[in-house]
Chains A and B, each alone.
Chain A
Amino acid sequence: MSQFAINLIFVGASFALYIGIAIWARAGSTADFYAASRGVNPIVNGAATAADWMSAASFISMAGLIAFVGYGNSTFLMGWTGGYVLLALLLAPYLRKFGRFTVPDFIGDRFYSQTARIVAVISLLVMSITYVIGQMTGAGVAFSRFLEVTNTTGLFIASAVVFIYAVLGGMKGITYTQLAQYCVLIVAYTIPAVFISLQLTGNPLPQLGLFSTHTESGQPLLQTLNEVLVELGFNDYTGMHAPQNTLNMVLFTLSLMIGTAGLPHVIIRFFTVPKVADARKSAGWALVFIALLYTVAPAVGAMARLNIITTIYPDGIDQPSLAFDAKPDWMLNWEQTGLLRFEDKNGDGMIQYYNEANPPQIAIDEGWEGNEMVTFNQDILVLANPEIAQLPGWVIGLIAAGGLAAALSTAAGLLLAISSAVSHDLIKSIINPGISEKGELLAARISMAFAIALATYLGLNPPGFAAQVVALAFGLAASSLFPAIMMGIFSKKMNSSGAIAGMIVGLGSTVLYIFTYLGWFFIPGTNMLPNTPDNWFFGISPLSFGAVGAMLNFITAYLVMKMTAPAPEHIQELVESIRVPKGAGAAVDH
């Protein structure tokens, strides 16, 4: 059977499963559509949250990010998991007790202000829409590589599938498809990693393999990797290197953590469980399911980096390297996508891979004319992994289905956050409070359909700055929503003026800092300072500023609160009531 047929079977079967679940889990009420009627088992919700959260970026990109930087990019591992501690301890149980459907719902009611609600809706829409673009383009890439259709066709198929289960089932349909998608993506990610770990270290657990002895060299795997990298003129793997510095590493990690805890599509997942205690437990399970991938990713990164080097230099750097006409199939396959490119600069018919900026002695002695692996897109690392390790065809089919599961599950969660902000927060709470339950459900379905159409359009015509905008989404979540929600729970006296001023200062300073270095609205050439570490304020990169924005938000809110009247009595009582679990069942609807 051809690889194409195998891929088709795996992807087709997984899609049939998602659609089957959608038909089984139709939504009959707004409570179904927004919160799956709060009847989701906390462990199931944990798995659904894991799929919701782990996007194409986690599945496809993260191992590559770590592989090519090493220790310095541990920030992604700590940042994208540490946020769950914040969620479990500071937000999820109280928001569940509050018992509404959306994040702007909480901010609007707690700060008794339509202005606060609107600021929250705007932040939510900007961050969710920018985030969803990345998912749609990710799905398009996976389709075009594995199913040999054009990017456009791939995107339309992906949108059609999401449309069926998101519009029909709302949160209920999305929850159970996300559970299935979690299973598909974790199996797809783990199997190749286990085989590669066995090949390199003899240990079947990649988490242990990373710190085990490399069978071939007889010394620890990371030591071997460090040695070959230094030999080729690259930075060693386990050290910290410029432009990374300690302060920036701390702030970037903190921004990712706070941003994670402030992402509306993750927060709303905790509205689906029956009890407050379940919300805490569910966050723990979500992190367990996420950790299954996040502890494998650094092993995949390090092992793939070593595998690539040993493929090019099978007998060591001083021996003849891989010949151009002896390239393995995976190189030929990926060269067709343009994401991998070689160029025989010195015309010797062999590939030389090294750091041109810091050429090793051998490059000078042999007269090498430059690094000949000209392009290696970090995103292909995970997708090409089974081929690099020469695993059977069905593993490749599985990776294709897994990549799509990761992209589609996150897209669905984001689309739900977008549509509920429109139908519930804009239509029901602001424009037409008298709307019937049926009318609101219809509005929710129509806004979902519109959100999908918009995401498809943006996926087909991605703005050139998509990657930077995803960083902006985290900055926005960290600097606007997280502090407002947290103060709403932990400070009884926090009032509407304080919260609104805080959100505006947090949001404004973060956007301003990002635009200063990346250009106004990301238009190239409009940046006021060059985006290099020397120009960064205290060496803080624009991507790390979310944590600073959050601190400015807290400080501003506190100062403004001190100068104005504290929150009214009935709001302080509301805060008292969300602090204790008792009575959550009664507060389900309004």
Chain B
Amino acid sequence: MSDKSTDDYWKANIRIITISMVIWALVSFGFGIVFRPLLSGIPIGGTDLGFWFAQQGSILTFIVLIFYYTWYMNRLDHEFGVEE
């Protein structure tokens, strides 16, 4: 495996990590806390969308994020020939 492809592999990894971390922060700190007032117009079962994100939505998003990352990285490992 050449150094070029190691670099590219790592760059692709950093890119997907960055995107995932933005979503991670957006659903918890964003929708759940800081931007909650902006979501207060969207009612959910006696409260608003921000409350749902704080108590349930962020956790569900975290699960999807990890499995998506796992799937993406398995594909990337294969593409660059670095899987075990």
Contacts and interface: CB of A to CB of B under 8 A. Distances in A.
Interface string B10-47: 10010001001100100011001110100000001111
Interface stretch (A283-291, A409-417, A452-460): A283-291
A275 B84 contact: yes
Contacts of A277: 70, 73-74, 77, 83-84
B62 A295 contact: no
A562 B58 CA distance: 37
A220 interface: yes
Given A246-B34, A281-B70, A89 B20 contact: yes
Give the contact-size bracket for chain A.
35 or more
Nearest to A298: B55
A77 B54 CA distance: 8
A402 to B, nearest CB: 21
A294 B46 contact: no
Contacts of B56: 207, 210, 295, 298
A582 B55 contact: no
A278 B59 CA distance: 21
A584 B82 CA distance: 11
Nearest to A201: B45
Contacts of B82: 580-582
A579 interface: yes
Nearest to A282: B70
B45 A222 contact: yes
Chain B contact residues: helix, strand, loop or mixed: helix
Nearest to A71: B51
B66 A287 contact: yes
A224 B66 contact: no
A466 B20 CA distance: 36
Contact of B46 (A223, A254, A295, A585): A223
B60 A291 contact: yes
Interface string A74-89: 1001100110110011
A250 B34 contact: yes
A499 B20 CA distance: 26
B54 A288 contact: no
A275 B48 CA distance: 42
A221 B1 CA distance: 59
B46 to A, nearest CB: 3
A424 interface: no
Most buried by A among B47, B51, B52, B69: B47
Interface in A212-241: 212, 219-226, 238, 240
Contacts of B1: 580, 582
Given A226-B46, A579-B10, A581-B84, A287 B62 contact: yes
A212 B54 CA distance: 17
B62 A82 contact: yes
B63 A254 contact: no
A220 B45 contact: yes
A238 B21 contact: no
Contact of A85 (B46, B52, B62): B62
Contacts of A81: 58-59, 62
B77 A222 contact: no
Contacts of A583: 84
B59 A585 contact: no
Contact of A77 (B45, B59, B73, B83): B59
Nearest to A286: B66
Contacts of B33: 246, 249-250, 253
Contacts of B28: 78, 82, 253
A90 interface: yes
B21 A89 contact: yes
B62 A580 contact: no
A276 B74 CA distance: 10
A238 B17 contact: no
Contacts of A66: 55
Most buried by A among B20, B45, B73: B45
Interface in A65-106: 66, 71, 74, 77-78, 81-82, 84-85, 88-90, 93
Contacts of A210: 45, 55-56
Nearest to B36: A240
Given A275-B84, A287-B66, A211 B46 contact: yes
A211 B57 CA distance: 12
A576 interface: yes
A577 B5 CA distance: 13
B20 to A, nearest CB: 6
Contacts of A283: 66
A280 interface: yes
Contact of A581 (B17, B55, B63, B77): B77
A276 B73 CA distance: 10
A85 B24 contact: yes
Most buried by B among A74, A220, A221, A576: A74
Contacts of A82: 24, 28, 58, 62
A220 B45 CA distance: 6
A224 B46 contact: yes
Contacts of A284: 63, 66-67, 70
A100 B70 CA distance: 22
Interface of B: 1, 6, 9-10, 13, 17, 20-21, 24, 28-29, 32-34, 36, 44-48, 51-52, 54-56, 58-60, 62-63, 65-67, 69-70, 73-74, 77, 80-84
Given A82-B28, A582-B81, 5 more contacts: A85-B65, A88-B66, A277-B70, A277-B84, A284-B67
- In order of increasing CB-CB distance, the 3 nearest A-B pairs are A220-B46, A211-B45, A223-B46
